[in-house]
Chains A and B, each alone.
Chain A
């Protein structure tokens, strides 16, 4: 009798301690809410429509989730999507680069920024919040300053004419038909990134190290975990994701505004938190962050479908964040509750 109850409590506990549980419930509620009122929202076209913002945000949210599980933040990630896009378009239009080598250059720059963030954080032990706030401001200045100096305006454009555009656009910026409805190819990338991140977290040695350095860095170090290398790799992963998303957006719109990506860094963090990541690190999931991004996409487009003012999106954001943080805290308390 008691054994049976214990077993049942075990299943419940195990379900509850899944970090993405809150996000799944939230996504179902948000979907039901919009789908009930808007037939467009629940149509295949509608789904393709709201999965589009979810996908680019999702790629970033998943990378940020890994970083947050590892106990760090990256406020420069949003602006870095702009930097990579600007480098791509500038090299391809002003310097006659083919799109592919231009993307390679922007990748190298992005990884260098990630490496720098990681090195500064691990060497100085300063909070990554401050370090990446610094990189955020510096990149913001560089994006605007260099763009203005080169073009005299605050945007670069005309990527369509560059060599290699068609192939790069097909791989990163195009669409795929599913049952007659065009879906953004970014959605595929997002699913791929989420699957890869989940595998790394749950089924690889570095995954174990990520949880450990975020949970208790000194204890992880004492157990022989290469803590600094793990964190640097996480910052570089985030930078890689920023490069991927920056390139996708540049290829899709063929032009890039110099101020793009500013403010996005918080959206990534919010999506990761809605997905079950603790702000204190050591806990969270990639799938959760991906679902957090879906909630965003649904709310972003759903509010438009319902004909509401877009301002309500911000209100919705804040409410979701508060709810998610409270739910995460309850789950964590339950998971950590000491039993004798």
Chain B
């Protein structure tokens, strides 16, 4: 287990965003975190990424308990994160974003030549077709942006790649492209944490599934222990679905 949480919890003032959540990430596997809006998915992965500090429970990296001092600490331990709301800087070029926070140096200078070249090569190696690495990231489509962020994490030797809802704002075709990059990162031996509220995106690539609801865990399942139908039903909330069906029937 590269990364693991045991009964982890976090509150913001009086809001209990996360309570007693346990999960694990293995190398070369995809752990999917599923839950409705506000379930605490982003809060959980922000703890894994070093953005938030947990209030209770334990966070383990390579089996040893740690407290991450910040995003940099997480990065140094090989945990790379593509956040939902803070992925990249729109006004900066693709290559500047690609190396942000880890700029290659040549003497005192930022080696921009190498940065441009490597960014172009890495994107091509992942099969990502970006016309021009000088264009601002803001001009990329959502799928392209996610792909660049994934290529970036792979390039920097991440062992764990955390993706917060990379497919939720995308159309069917673009979501498929991103799912393919997730599979490619997994095949390269990375442990992937894939957050989504769409079981149809999660099931094809996932190896284990953590279900969150209002900050608590509904359990973590291996793929062998749960069918797509059961996952979908759990996600939607069976009781609520039944009530909804009942309500709609009467009309």
Chain A contacts to B: CB under 8 angstroms: 6, 10, 13-14, 17, 202-205, 207-209, 211-212, 215-216, 218-225, 282-283, 332, 335-340
* 9 pairs, A vs B, C-beta closer than 8 Å: A208-B110, A222-B86, A223-B100, A224-B71, A225-B101, A282-B89, A282-B91, A335-B139, A337-B139
In the complex, chain A residues whose CB is within 8 Å of the CB of B132: 10
Q: Quick check: is B99 within 8 A (CB to CB) of the other chain?
A: yes
In the complex, chain A residues whose CB is within 8 Å of the CB of B109: 203-204
- Assuming the A-B contacts A205-B105, A211-B96, A335-B136, are A219 and B87 also in contact, with contact meaning beta carbons closer than 8 angstroms in the complex? yes
**From DSSP, what is the main secondary structure of chain B's interface residues?**
loop
Q: Is B102's CB under 8 angstroms from A336's CB? A: no
Give the CA-CA distance A17 to B93 in the complex, in Å: 11
In the complex, chain A residues whose CB is within 8 Å of the CB of B90: 215-216, 336
Q: Which of A224, A337, A340 sits near B75, CB closer than 8 Å? A: A224
In the complex, chain B residues whose CB is within 8 Å of the CB of A219: 83, 86-89
In the complex, chain A residues whose CB is within 8 Å of the CB of B103: 205, 208
Q: Is A14's CB under 8 angstroms from B91's CB? A: no
Q: Is A207's CB under 8 angstroms from B110's CB? A: yes
Q: Is A224's CB under 8 angstroms from B102's CB? A: yes
Give the CA-CA distance A222 to B81 in the complex, in Å: 8
In the complex, chain A residues whose CB is within 8 Å of the CB of B150: none
8 Å CB interface, B100-137 against A: 100-103, 105, 108-110, 112, 131-132, 134-136
Give the CA-CA distance A219 to B97 in the complex, in Å: 10
Q: Is A216's CB under 8 angstroms from B86's CB? A: yes
Q: What is the count of residue pairs linking A and B with beta-carbon distances less than 8 angstroms? A: 92
Give the CA-CA distance A207 to B91 in the complex, in Å: 14
Q: Is A17's CB under 8 angstroms from B71's CB? A: no
Q: Quick check: is B51 within 8 A (CB to CB) of the other chain?
A: yes
Please give me the 3 A-B residue pairs with the lowest Cβ-Cβ distance, nearest first: A224-B101, A219-B86, A215-B89
Give the CA-CA distance A280 to B94 in the complex, in Å: 20
Q: Quick check: is B92 within 8 A (CB to CB) of the other chain?
A: yes
CB distance from A52 to the nearest CB of B (A): 33
Q: Is B89's CB under 8 angstroms from A211's CB? A: yes
Give the CA-CA distance A51 to B96 in the complex, in Å: 35
Q: Is A221's CB under 8 angstroms from B71's CB? A: yes
Closest residue to A284 on the B side, CB-wise? B91
Give the CA-CA distance A219 to B96 in the complex, in Å: 13
8 Å CB interface, B51-65 against A: 51
In the complex, chain B residues whose CB is within 8 Å of the CB of A222: 49, 51, 71, 81, 83, 86
- Assuming the A-B contacts A203-B112, A208-B110, A223-B71, are A339 and B139 also in contact, with contact meaning beta carbons closer than 8 angstroms in the complex? yes
CB distance from A171 to the nearest CB of B (A): 25
In the complex, chain B residues whose CB is within 8 Å of the CB of A215: 89-92
Give the CA-CA distance A204 to B140 in the complex, in Å: 25
CB distance from B131 to the nearest CB of A (A): 8
Give the CA-CA distance A6 to B132 in the complex, in Å: 11
Q: Is A335's CB under 8 angstroms from B138's CB? A: yes
In the complex, chain B residues whose CB is within 8 Å of the CB of A211: 89, 91-92, 96
Q: Is B108's CB under 8 angstroms from A204's CB? A: yes
Give the CA-CA distance A207 to B115 in the complex, in Å: 14
Q: Is A218's CB under 8 angstroms from B134's CB? A: no
In the complex, chain B residues whose CB is within 8 Å of the CB of A209: 100-101
Q: Which of A205, A218, A336, A339 sits near B110, CB closer than 8 Å? A: A205
Closest residue to B76 on the A side, CB-wise? A224
Give the CA-CA distance A302 to B140 in the complex, in Å: 45
8 Å CB interface, B196-230 against A: none
- Assuming the A-B contacts A203-B112, A208-B110, A222-B86, are A338 and B91 also in contact, with contact meaning beta carbons closer than 8 angstroms in the complex? no
Q: Please give 17 more A-B residue pairs, beta carbons under 8 A apart, in addition to A10-B132, A204-B110.
A: A6-B131, A10-B131, A13-B135, A208-B99, A208-B110, A212-B100, A219-B87, A219-B89, A222-B51, A225-B100, A283-B91, A332-B91, A335-B136, A336-B91, A336-B139, A338-B140, A339-B140
In the complex, chain B residues whose CB is within 8 Å of the CB of A17: 136
Give the CA-CA distance A109 to B131 in the complex, in Å: 50
In the complex, chain B residues whose CB is within 8 Å of the CB of A10: 131-132
CB distance from A223 to the nearest CB of B (A): 4
8 Å CB interface, B65-92 against A: 71-72, 75, 81, 83, 85-92
CB distance from B17 to the nearest CB of A (A): 17
8 Å CB interface, B137-168 against A: 138-141
Give the CA-CA distance A211 to B138 in the complex, in Å: 14
In the complex, chain B residues whose CB is within 8 Å of the CB of A221: 71
Give the CA-CA distance A203 to B108 in the complex, in Å: 9
Give the CA-CA distance A222 to B152 in the complex, in Å: 14
- Assuming the A-B contacts A10-B132, A14-B134, A336-B91, are A208 and B86 also in contact, with contact meaning beta carbons closer than 8 angstroms in the complex? no
